[in-house]
């Protein structure tokens, strides 16, 4: 079952076709790797799917509902959540409060003044335990390392309890132990029947984790298939390595 599909997506920036007629499908209960060289259009596709960049043309279908636009504030209702390549956390709030804000699902400023229940706190603490951050829950997020900030952002996405998870380079800059934690998260989401879209440059991770790989180059889809099939394709190798 394809929970999320795109049809002829197009997006240009100053005459440059960042996404040029892209049609994709992402299957429920599967991890799909979205790969390609820098500037290939991967993050633009993710930004379109999550409503951070408007479409020039094309449609997005979510659970059989065809949309000509998606706004970022619609993401919770549409069952979509994401992480960012450039990490976004509230630095002057504690790690625990960074998660509690998500549980309110309202504007972050008003959320800071809400009285959270013990159930909220328990949910957040369970995620922190899963990601190895529970011992730092009362520390300010500004004091976290780069890798720990990535884990915090992933934790925040998990608390959204969405149907579709978009991860933009979640493994970049992580130590091996953190890589294992994130991989466990991805596998648990798949086992729970979630749709996972993963942008990643480490092909070892893509081979080990993904059910399907979509390769983009110059704003277009270059190849789609299993990791072994796609990553051995000469055209894909040429796009990546310039051979």
The domain that contains 35 carries what CATH number? 3.40.50.300
- pLDDT band of residue 238 (cuts 50, 70, 90) is confident
- pLDDT band of residue 126 (cuts 50, 70, 90) is very high
The secondary structure element, H or E, covering residue 101 is helix 95-104
Q: Are residues 133 and 98 in the same domain?
A: yes
What CA–CA distances, in Å, run from 1 to 32, 40, 134, 140, 234? 13, 27, 36, 42, 30
Q: Are residues 135 and 154 in the same domain?
A: no
Which tokens go with 187? 């596998």
Q: Are residues 235 and 129 in the same domain?
A: no
Residues 86-122 as b/e (b if ≥16 CB within 10 A, e otherwise) read ebebbeebbbbbbbbbbbeeeeeeebeeeebeeebee
Q: Are residues 49 and 158 in the same domain?
A: yes
Q: Are residues 156 and 232 in the same domain?
A: yes
Q: Are residues 173 and 205 in the same domain?
A: yes
Q: Are residues 70 and 155 in the same domain?
A: yes
Q: Are residues 149 and 218 in the same domain?
A: yes
- The burial of 157, by beta-carbon neighbours within 10 Å (0-12 exposed, 13-18 middle, 19 or more buried), is given as buried
**Structural domains counted in the chain:** 2
Q: Are residues 59 and 170 in the same domain?
A: yes
pLDDT at 113: 66
pLDDT at 138: 92
Q: Are residues 85 and 96 in the same domain?
A: no
Residue 97, SS3?
A: helix
Q: For residue range 12-48, what is the model confidence (pLDDT) as tens digits?
A: 998 889 999 999 999 999 999 999 888 889 999 999 9
Q: Are residues 6 and 66 in the same domain?
A: yes
Contact (Cβ atoms closer than 8 angstroms) between residue 18 and residue 218: no
Residue 187, SS3?
A: helix
Which pTM value belongs to this model?
0.90
Which tokens go with 173? 């800059």
Q: Which domain covers residue 122, as residue numbers?
A: 90-143
């Amino acid at each position: 079952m394809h929970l999320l599909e795109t049809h002829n997506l197009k997006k240009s920036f100053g005459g440059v076709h960042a996404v040029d007629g892209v049609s994709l499908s992402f299957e429920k209960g599967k991890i799909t790797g979205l790969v390609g060289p820098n500037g290939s259009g991967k993050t633009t596709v993710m930004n379109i799917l999550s409503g951070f960049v408007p479409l020039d043309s094309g449609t997005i279908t979510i659970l059989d509902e065809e949309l000509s636009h998606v706004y970022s504030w619609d993401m919770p209702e549409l069952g979509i959540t994401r992480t960012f390549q450039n990490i976004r956390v509230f630095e002057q709030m504690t790690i625990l409060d960074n998660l509690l804000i998500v549980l309110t699902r309202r504007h972050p400023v008003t959320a800071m003044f809400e009285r959270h229940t013990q159930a909220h706190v328990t949910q957040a603490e369970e995620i922190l335990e899963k990601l190895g951050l529970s011992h730092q829950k009362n520390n300010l997020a500004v004091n976290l390392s780069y890798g720990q900030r990535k884990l915090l952002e992933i934790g925040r996405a998990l608390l959204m309890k969405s149907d579709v998870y978009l991860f933009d380079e979640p493994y970049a800059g992580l130590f091996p132990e953190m890589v294992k934690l994130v991989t466990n998260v991805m596998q648990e989401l798949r086992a729970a029947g979630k749709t996972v879209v993963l942008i990643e440059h480490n092909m070892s991770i893509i081979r080990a984790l993904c059910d399907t790989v979509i390769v983009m180059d110059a704003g277009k889809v270059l190849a789609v298939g299993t990791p072994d099939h796609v990553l051995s394709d000469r055209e894909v190798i040429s796009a990546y390595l310039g051979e």
